[in-house]
Structure 1
Amino acid sequence: MEERTPLFSFGVIADIQYADIDNGTNFSKTRTRFYRSGLLLLRNALRSWSRSRSRPSFILQLGDIIDGFNRGLGSSDRALDAVLAEFSSEPLQVHHVWGNHEFYNFSRSQLMESRLNSSPRAGRCGADIYAYSFSPAPGFTFVLLDGYDVSLLGVDQTSEQYSRALKWIRKHNHNQDLNQPPAPCGVQQRFAMFNGGFSEQQLLWLDALLSRADEQRERVTVVCHLPVHPAAADPVCLPWNYEELLSTLRAHSSAVCFIAGHEHDGGYHWDPESAVHHLTLEGVIETPPDSDAFATVSVYEDRMVLKGNGRVADRELLFPR
């Protein structure tokens, strides 16, 4: 059978969390975190994409590019330089998503002026919200969302933005340490400082964008550091107002896929209410140096075919008819 040529393809990688320190563990001491080898695994991915018969049109870097430990070591800029040097070693366009570890290392204003701001001049949500859209091929749109639009991270503690976020999270989390989830299980866990929320402005912008895509019969893939479906990740990783984002996706026929990181074990769920595929990519940070954690996605008229490497499984994501 003749193999079809995709309309375009793209690469995906998540949670590199590079730091020049020895291996450690996650917060529950159940998983090893491989801080240094993130560069090796990124190099493996870039080499694979560059040598592919169908070179990806772009790469989605799903956030947490360097680890928060760098901030305490005074090595944030050095670590970021090291990772971006790897990305620059291959002629591939990269779209950077921001996660909690970006904000552990840099303020929002610093990130807006940094090389991690990959937003184009057109298609932005607003001046202070890191959300934008782009179209890699006719009939297809990708939307990068700002999962920390409302957050305690990366903003001045005297600011109105910080006060609004603190008031929101304090309604649900009464712990002294707001990085400690307020519940041992279930979606209530999400009200922790390492997550964030979507402002009304961003939700209205996404809704309007999807409405236009509905009219034009486009296929839209939404990308964010935070997963938004409880069945696609551990609920502790969800945004504070994930239900509003899910409702927006379910209201539009153009939305076909939601891609996220944050949950290092990865996950997948097909939402029957919207026919949207929710894909959470496994994190590089908890991948042993003798394995891999990246994927290449080939896009066709009727589906996306994900070819995983290492911990990432192959998947076929059919579009609704």
Structure 2
Amino acid sequence: MTATSTTPLFSFGIVADPQYADIPARPEMNRFYAESTKKLAAAIDAFNQEDLAFVVTLGDLIDRGWQSFDAILGCYDHLRHRSILLPGNHDFAVEPEHLPKVHDRLGMPARWHDFSLGEFRFIVLDGNDVSTFAPPTGDPRRELATARLEALREAGDLNAQDWNGSFSNEQLSWLRATLAKADAMQEQVVLFCHYPLYPANAHNMWDAPEVLKLLAAHHSVRAWFCGHNHDGNYGVIGNTHFVNVKGMVDTPDQNAFVVADVYPDRIALRGFGRELNRVLMF
């Protein structure tokens, strides 16, 4: 074996759906909201023992209430690595006047953005862009979301749920251009979004078929990491892996998080708690 096959180029941590709120648990739904600060703190302690390039949290930091951000974001003060946050549907379960401030509260440089590490490009997306809950009141994206959801319901689609979302044309155009640039530069692309695309599931983005078609048209795409479906999921299409990380909020005391070791030809996932080990070959 060569040194590159046994030593990762770099590693990163992954968390999905802490969904914190200081409210009573709902065991019938596997929701233990108030325990998430303890579990996230334990995950951060584990991450701090690793040499990581960053830690990404795949949305739903809170379950509801603007004030809930204070406690859960406070956990990241102890993280010694770069933190990358993106919003889930529950992160917009706040008072209407706070809706325009969610991305800033998460410290995002833009609603969608990308960055590179060596020959890998990471793309951070916002699947709440066109939804019935995230755009501020009066924003035309709300009307567009209502039309999209109604069309899916008329078609009887499994993911015709009001707690899912979709991309705007603006975000899709940016994604298309970013993937084309990555192709041209011979980069390997990893995407982060709150919502799944594949396999078929009630939690998938409304525009999953269109996004899958876009990804398939670009040879640089290696993996899509998401949350939202707390049970977790996995599928592969061609050379692209779709990894749905399990929800941290789902148990009273058992954790769920991942460390991803990145190699030139694969990403090896080390699962903690309820999460599984998995190797994503390119």
Query: Under a length normalisation based on structure 2, what TM-score does the superposition of the two structures give?
Result: 0.93
Q: Counterparts in 2 of 1:98-137, with a 5 A limit?
A: 98-105=87-94, 107-114=98-105, 116-119=106-109, 130-135=111-116, 137=117
Q: Which residue of structure 2 aligns with residue 19 of structure 1? A: 21
- Report what 1:304 is aligned to: 267
Alpha-carbon distance, 1:112 to partner: 3.3
Selected match of 1:256 from 210, 219, 222: 222
Listed as ranges, the matches of 1:67-86 within 5 Å are 67-68=63-64, 71=65, 76-77=66-67, 79-86=68-75
- Corresponding position: 1:287 with 2:277: no
Aligned-partner SS, 2:158: helix
What is the CA–CA distance in structure 1 between the aligned matches of 2:142 and 2:23, rounded to whole Å?
A: 31
- 1:245 pairs with 2:181: no
What is the DSSP-based 3-state SS (H/G/I as helix, E as strand, rest coil) of the residue aligned with 1:43? helix
Does 2:63 correspond to 1:63? no
1:52-102 deviation digits (Å, cap 9, x = unpaired)? 2xx21101100000112xx3xxxx32x211111111112221111110001
- From 163, 170, 184, the equivalent of 1:194 is 163
Q: Which has the higher helix share?
A: 2
The whole-number CA distance in structure 1 between the counterparts of 2:99 and 2:119 is: 32
User: Which residue type is aligned with residue 55 of structure 2?
Assistant: I
Q: Does the residue aligned with 2:59 lie in a helix, a strand or coil?
A: coil
Q: Provide structure 1 residue ranges, at least 5 long, that are not aligned to the other structure.
A: 125-129, 175-181
Aligned residues: 278
Task: Name the residue aligned to 1:217.
Answer: 186
Question: Are the counterparts in 1 of residues 87 and 103 from structure 2 also a CA contact under 8 Å?
Answer: no
Q: Over residues 101-154 of structure 1, what are the superposed CA-to-partner deviations in whole Å (9 max), with x where a residue is unaligned?
A: 01112644111332x0322xxxx5xxxxx111011x211110011101111113
d(CA) in 2 for partners of 1:150 and 1:39? Answer: 29
> Secondary structure at the residue paired with 1:86?
helix
* Contact residue 287 and residue 311 of structure 1 kept, 8 A: no
Amino acid in the other structure paired with 2:141: Q
Identity of aligned residues (%): 34
- Give 1:263 deviation, angstroms: 0.4
The letter of the residue matching 1:173 is R
Tell me what 1:7 maps to: 9
8 Å contact from structure 1 (residues 57, 92) kept in 2: yes
In the alignment, what sits opposite 1:46? 44
Deviation at 1:5, TM superposition (A): 2.3
Contact 1:287 1:293 in 2 (8 A): no
1:34 matched residue in structure 2:
32
| Kept in 2: contact 1:157–1:163 (CA 8 A) | no
CA distance in 1, matches of 2:178, 2:136: 30
CA separation in 1, counterparts of 2:145 and 2:23?
A: 32
Contact kept in structure 2, 1:226 and 1:238, CA below 8 Å: yes
Instruction: After the TM superposition, list the runs of 4 or more consecutive aligned residues in structure 1 that deviate by more than 6 angstroms.
Output: none
CA contact (8 A) 2:235 2:242 kept: yes
Contact 2:199 2:234 in 1 (8 A): no
Q: Distance in 1 between matches of 2:207 and 2:220?
A: 22
Matched to 1:132, the amino acid is: H
Structure 2 SS opposite 1:172 = helix
- The corresponding residue for 1:127 is none
SS in 2 for 1:190: coil
Which has the larger displacement, 150-159 or 34-43?
Answer: 150-159
Question: What one-letter code is carried by the residue in structure 2 that aligns with 1:277?
Answer: H
Q: Which amino acid aligns with 2:264?
A: E
Post-superposition CA distance 1:193-213 (Å, at most 9, x none): 111111122112111111111
Contact residue 221 and residue 257 of structure 1 kept, 8 A: yes
Matching residue of 1:314 = 277
SS of the aligned residue for 2:182 comes to: helix
Structure 1 counterpart of 2:165, which letter?
G
Q: Does 1:278 align with 2:267?
A: no
User: Aligned AA for 1:311?
Assistant: R
Letter in 2 for 1:303: R
